[in-house]
């Protein structure tokens, strides 16, 4: 016996950000307030990275490289012109 209505009627459709708006693969504009991402807050990512680096006892050189990588991510890329 199968129910006609699923327990969770919500679904997800992949979208991409293009020319200032979120769009489906077909080009249909999706309002920003309906878009959900799987992005995590920066603090959560930083905490996880610190835990991994400390648990595996990586060398100071690797830790320094990750610190520099994080700084570069925050700076962003220079505008191409």
Burial tier of 74 (Cβ tally within 10 Å: 0-12, 13-18, 19+)? exposed
> pLDDT grade, residue 81 (50/70/90)?
very low
pTM: 0.39
63: closest CA among 75, 51, 73? 51
Write down the pLDDT at residue 26.
92
Give the closest residue to 21 by CA, choosing from 32, 12, 13. 32
- In three-state secondary structure terms, 3 is coil
pLDDT (mean) for 9-22: 82
Residue 41 CB contacts under 8 Å (≥ 6 apart), including other chains? none
The pLDDT tens digits of the residues spanning 27-47 come to 999 888 778 777 778 788 888
């Amino acid at each position: 016996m199968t129910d006609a209505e699923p327990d969770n009627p919500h679904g997800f459709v992949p979208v991409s950000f293009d020319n200032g708006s979120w769009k489906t693969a077909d080009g249909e504009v999706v309002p920003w307030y309906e878009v959900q991402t799987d992005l995590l807050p920066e603090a959560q990512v930083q905490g996880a990275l610190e835990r991994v680096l400390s648990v595996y006892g990586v060398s100071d050189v690797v830790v320094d490289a990750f610190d520099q990588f994080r700084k570069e991510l925050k700076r962003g890329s220079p505008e191409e012109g």
